[in-house]
Amino acid sequence: MKKEIKIAVALSGGVDSATTAALLKEEGYFVAGFFMQNWSTPIDQRGFCPAVADVATARMVANQLKIPFYVLDFEEDYYKKVVKPFLEDYKKGLTPNPDVLCNKFIKFGRFLETTQKLGFKKIATGHYALIKEKDDIFHLYRGIDKSKDQSYFLWTLTQKELKFTLFPIGGFYKKEVRAMAKKRGLVNADRKDSQGICFIGPIEVSQFLQRFLPKENGPVRDENGKILGYHQGIWFYTIGQREGLGISGTSEPLYVAYKDISTNSLYVVPRNHPWLFAKEFKVRDVSFVQTVPKEALRVEVVIRYHSQPHPALLSLKNGEFFLTLDEPAWAVTEGQSAVFYNKDELIGGGVIDRVLRTRK
């Protein structure tokens, strides 16, 4: 009976997780809500910390649904597994994705492990993605609502996690989820979606970095090495960035194409410059939803959230994975995720490690 199956729902305070809990309870499952306390430090000078409002809203939702509610303190793990690597990668000139780390180590790591020890059979989250089981094999797909699809951030999930995971709203559009929440009178039915860094809140990445990494001025150079201006710290910029470069008076917009850590220099070029395009790159920390392919595999690779997929060949050379795109892609960025798809099915992914592009 469903009543005997205990499901731990990750309640974030948002409408997606609240609707997830409501739907599962209506289906007859024993549901409990859990709020993951991962960050409690104020994110601005006013002392504002979004976690205070988030946990209060999550508790109200649980009370409204008449389900048990618990707060799990994962702050230490979150700092060690997400924030610290995030900052270390930026120091190296990379552009990491904290949401991927958060999913791997916190939501589908500590949360899953902790709730299993408490006797829960499955966890459920408000992710816009789909899990389908066939012949005891779990498949992961993009959510129905492509504008909200979050599968890009879930490429580290394997059979180990998927067999214990539910994504109840993955088959709905966002407007349908809000409508379901309003129909049920959920207190957060009209609450705005969270923005910013995973579990930290509505703060720009550059603002967050400035709290932990020092400003270190350096030259902004053109392709010939001419100094056009000065930046505030090489780790505050990413490949393809145009804004905030500290330069003006150029004949056309310029974009970051190369970060030289050894000289603390940013190199900027026009948008269609060859330095900004790449066709081949190495990926590390590769993970597959099912099994590791034994031969080269045709995939569609997504190199940044909500970007168009690129047809590519995934190959293994001397124990390392490489992606060769059919056509060059713009601003392939080391540290970001490269996620492999077969149409709407997520095959796996990895971290862009070394881009083979033309430059000085």
Which of 92-96, 109-113, 119-123, 208-212 has the lowest average pLDDT?
Answer: 208-212
Residue 350 has pLDDT above 90, yes or no: yes
- Among residues 87, 93, 85, the alpha carbon closest in space to that of 264 is found at 93
345, with CB counted inside 10 A (0-12, 13-18, 19+), is middle
Q: Which of 67, 87, 102, 266 is catalytic?
A: 102
- Where do the domains of the chain lie? 2-205, 214-272, 277-357
Q: In Å, what is the CA distance from 341 to each residue of 138, 155, 267, 308, 313?
A: 15, 10, 33, 12, 12
**For the chain, how long is the longest CA-to-CA vector?**
71
Q: Give me the pLDDT at residue 211, please.
A: 83
* pLDDT class of 352 with cuts at 50, 70, 90: very high
Residue 157 CB contacts under 8 Å (≥ 6 apart), including other chains: 103, 108, 140, 165, 287, 289
In terms of pLDDT, which residue wins out, 46 or 198? 198
Q: In Å, what is the CA distance from 221 to each residue of 33, 206, 257, 280, 294?
A: 52, 21, 10, 25, 44
Q: Give me the pLDDT at residue 206, please.
A: 76
Average pLDDT, the chain: 92
Strands (E), the chain: 6-10, 30-37, 69-73, 122-124, 129-134, 137-142, 165-166, 218-221, 227-231, 255-260, 265-269, 277-288, 297-302, 310-317, 320-330, 337-342, 345-357
Task: Using the Cα atoms of residue 192, residue 198, residue 203 and residue 205 in order, give the sign of their dihedral.
Answer: negative
Q: What is the pTM of this model?
A: 0.93
Averaged pLDDT, 54-62: 95
Q: Which of 24, 32, 181, 198 is catalytic?
A: 198
Residue 143 has pLDDT above 70, yes or no: yes
Averaged pLDDT, 103-129: 98
Q: Give me the pLDDT at residue 128, please.
A: 98
Q: Give me the pLDDT at residue 268, please.
A: 96
What are the structure tokens assigned to 331, written together?
């601003």
Q: Give me the pLDDT at residue 11, please.
A: 97
Residue 260 and residue 207: Cα distance in Å, rounded? 22
253 conformational bin, left if phi > 0, alpha if psi -120 to 50, beta if neither:
beta
Which of 66-70, 120-124, 315-319, 341-345 has the lowest average pLDDT?
Answer: 315-319
Q: Give me the pLDDT at residue 359, please.
A: 56
Q: Give me the pLDDT at residue 197, please.
A: 65
In terms of pLDDT, which residue wins out, 194 or 146? 146
What would the CATH number be for the domain defined by 2-205?
Answer: 3.40.50.620
* Sheet of strand 218-221: strand arrangement: 227-231, 218-221, 265-269, 255-260
Per-residue pLDDT of 180-190, as tens digits, reads 999 999 999 99
At residue 209, what are phi and psi to the nearest 5 degrees?
-60, -35
Residue 339 and residue 348: Cα distance in Å, rounded? 6
Residue 103 has pLDDT above 60, yes or no: yes
Q: Give me the pLDDT at residue 241, please.
A: 94
Specify the CATH class of 277-357 in words.
mainly beta
Q: Give me the pLDDT at residue 346, please.
A: 98
**Is 102 assigned a catalytic role?**
yes
Q: Give me the pLDDT at residue 207, please.
A: 78
Which fold does the domain 214-272 belong to in CATH? SH3 type barrels. (2.30.30)
- Among residues 354, 360, 306, the alpha carbon closest in space to that of 332 is found at 354
Please report, in angstroms and rounded to a whole number, the separation of the first and last CA atoms in the chain: 65
Residue 125 has pLDDT above 60, yes or no: yes
Residue 195 has pLDDT above 70, yes or no: no
Per-residue pLDDT of 283-326, as tens digits, reads 999 999 999 998 999 999 999 999 999 999 999 998 999 999 99
In terms of pLDDT, which residue wins out, 253 or 45? 253
Helical axes 50-65 vs 15-26, angle rounded to 10° = 20
pLDDT > 90: what percent of the chain?
81
Per-residue pLDDT of 25-53, as tens digits, reads 999 999 999 999 998 776 555 545 567 88
What are the structure tokens assigned to 61, written together?
């939702």
Q: Give me the pLDDT at residue 196, please.
A: 60
Residue written as token pair 């309870």: 25
* pLDDT class of 193 with cuts at 50, 70, 90: confident
